[in-house]
Amino acid sequence: MGKIVLYGIELSPPVRTVLLTLEALNLDYEFKVVNFLNKEHRTEEFEKKNPQHTVPVLEDDGHCLWDSHAIAAYLVNKYGKDDALYPKDPLKRAVVDQRLHFDSGVLFANARNITAPLFIRNVTDVPQEKIDLLNEGLNFLESFLVHDFIAGETMTIADFSILSTVTTYEAVVPIDAARTPKLVAWIKRMSKLPYYEKANGKGAAVAIKLLKEKLGRK
Ligand code: GSF
């Protein structure tokens, strides 16, 4: 078996989703930096791996996969010692899948609608309606958190996906315990993971600093 290679950059939330999954599964991998801010994702070589030219990309056994949600599910299906992080039970899996799609189609999509203009077109402010969508997403998450984790009583890859996105949100909207107490408690719980700093904390801090600079905030 060849070594697993992850292409991307830690400031990207979906890249951090994959890092969290690799660490949770205790897998050996190589991390190759592809800095999309410097257009390193637009080379012929990278577009051969992923014609959609997004990071993360995972290379495993000669196959290239993209989209963090698909990659996280693949890693657990292929390498998980059990199905805890991505349950096989149809109902439990459907709840995890719903949260993953929520991240993909709502939470991360709304964040990307803010970050892409800042990074690519050097826009310097964020329209209020885009901020309202972020806040709406946070309120949805608060209502999902009936148990300790985002898709139920145990941690799954849905926690990784949503964690990587919301910890980046903080550059634009405050996440405060008065408004979303369960969400704040869940972030605190997740941040106690032994690999949290390496797989999410470090990259989120870089993203927040960069975004705040773009927005002229401290
Ligand atoms: C989103 C990846 C993405 O938009 C996933 O992997 O979950 N649904 C995908 N990645 C951005 C970087 S970021 O905003 O984290 C990216 O690669 N943008 C460059 C481009 O050309 O789209």
pLDDT tens for the chain, 218 residues long, are 579 999 999 999 999 999 999 999 999 999 999 999 999 999 999 999 999 999 999 999 999 999 999 999 999 999 999 999 999 999 999 999 999 999 999 999 999 999 999 888 888 889 999 999 999 999 999 999 999 999 999 999 999 999 999 999 988 999 999 999 999 999 999 999 999 999 999 999 999 999 999 988 86
Of the residues 48, 79, 110, the one at which a domain ends: 79
Please tell me the distance from the alpha carbon of residue 215 to that of residue 206, in angstroms, as a whole number: 14
Residues 75 and 141 in one domain: no
Burial of 63 (0-12, 13-18, 19+ CB in 10 A): exposed
Tell me the whole-structure pTM to 2 decimals: 0.97
Please tell me the distance from the alpha carbon of residue 100 to that of residue 113, in angstroms, as a whole number: 18
154 three-class SS: coil
Is residue 100, in this structure, part of any structural domain at all?
yes
Domain count, the chain: 2
**Nearest Cα residue to 165 out of 84, 97, 96, 109:** 109
212 lines ligand 1 (CB under 6 A): no
189 lines ligand 1 (CB under 6 A): no
Is residue 85, in this structure, part of any structural domain at all?
no
**Nearest Cα residue to 54 out of 112, 96, 100:** 112
Ligand 1: residue of 19, 55, 160, 167 to mutate (most ligand atoms within 8 A of CB) is 55
Rounded to a whole number of angstroms, the CA Rg of the chain reads 17
